[in-house]
């Protein structure tokens, strides 16, 4: 089962539960400033992201909602977020897992549409800057090795889409980020050119936000 299918399934369940809880209200969106954080399910993909390699992490930061009409707003954010992938192994020699961890400062810029006063959908793009990276291993072989960020693409960018439910001053939401930039850099060794890792970021997050104004 692929992460894209999981996102669609989770989104369907989220929408069903949300509309069941909400009462119909006039469309309305207000200026907001707040803090937010949540739980990440990340992966690296070349063609599709496979759930077998999901790495769990977190995101945290600030957001603003800036109305441009009665029900549409621009929503910029700045977040610290973890991404990467996990590989499990079990063979005749050893068993355990290794984790490729990437830490970014991420700036999503989203268009938010309030379907009701309390329910919104949002979509847009994001840009990220890689601040640290490492590989760790646990199981029969334990290790931790930092990776020089100069060996990877420091900038990442992609598409983002999700849904949110507001219970003033708290909101919850579900969002999927689809990376468009290869994580690894192209390099040439002994006349052979390759990119490692030749993959892009994929990230599903469940977040909670708190309005400060």
Give residue 81's pLDDT.
98
Q: Among 4-13, 57-66, 139-148, 191-200, name the one with the lowest average pLDDT.
A: 4-13
Share of the chain above pLDDT 70, in %: 77
Tell whether the model's pLDDT for residue 25 goes beyond 60.
no
- Residue 50 pLDDT level (bands cut at 50, 70, 90): low
Give residue 155's pLDDT.
96
pTM for this model (two decimals): 0.81
Give residue 22's pLDDT.
43
**What would the pLDDT profile of 73-116 be if each residue is shown by its tens digit?**
999 999 999 999 988 766 656 567 788 999 999 999 999 999 98
Give residue 23's pLDDT.
44
Residues 6+ apart with CB under 8 A from 75: 63, 64, 65, 66, 108, 109, 110, 111, 112, 122, 124
Token pair 């708290």: residue:
170
Tell whether the model's pLDDT for residue 14 goes beyond 60.
no
Q: Mean per-residue pLDDT for 124-141?
A: 88
What distance lies between CA 49 and its chain's CA centroid? 13
Give residue 46's pLDDT.
81
Higher per-residue pLDDT: 205 or 18: 205
Cα separation values, 164 from 54, 65, 75, Å:
23, 13, 12
Give residue 97's pLDDT.
73
Tokens for 191, please give them.
């006349």
Share of the chain above pLDDT 90, in %: 55
Give residue 10's pLDDT.
58
Q: Mean per-residue pLDDT for 149-172?
A: 94
């Amino acid at each position: 089962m692929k992460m894209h299918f999981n996102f669609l399934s989770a989104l369907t369940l989220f929408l069903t539960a949300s509309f069941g809880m909400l009462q119909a209200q006039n469309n309305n969106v207000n200026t907001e400033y707040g803090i937010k954080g949540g739980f990440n399910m990340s992966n690296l993909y070349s063609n599709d992201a496979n759930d077998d390699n999901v790495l769990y992490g977190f995101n945290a930061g600030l957001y603003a909602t800036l109305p441009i009409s009665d029900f549409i707003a621009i929503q910029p954010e700045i977040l610290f977020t973890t991404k990467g992938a996990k590989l499990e192994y079990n063979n005749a020699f050893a068993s355990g897992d290794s984790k490729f961890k990437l830490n970014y400062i991420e700036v999503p810029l989203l268009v938010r549409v309030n379907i009701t006063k309390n329910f919104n959908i949002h979509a847009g793009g994001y840009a990220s800057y890689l601040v640290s990276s490492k590989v760790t291993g646990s199981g029969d072989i334990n290790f931790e090795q930092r990776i020089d960020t100069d060996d990877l693409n420091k900038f990442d960018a992609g598409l983002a889409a999700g849904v949110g439910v507001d219970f003033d001053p708290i909101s919850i939401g579900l969002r999927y980020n689809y990376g468009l930039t290869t994580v690894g850099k192209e390099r040439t060794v002994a006349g052979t050119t390759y990119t490692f890792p030749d993959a892009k970021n994929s990230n599903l997050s469940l977040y909670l936000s708190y309005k400060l104004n």
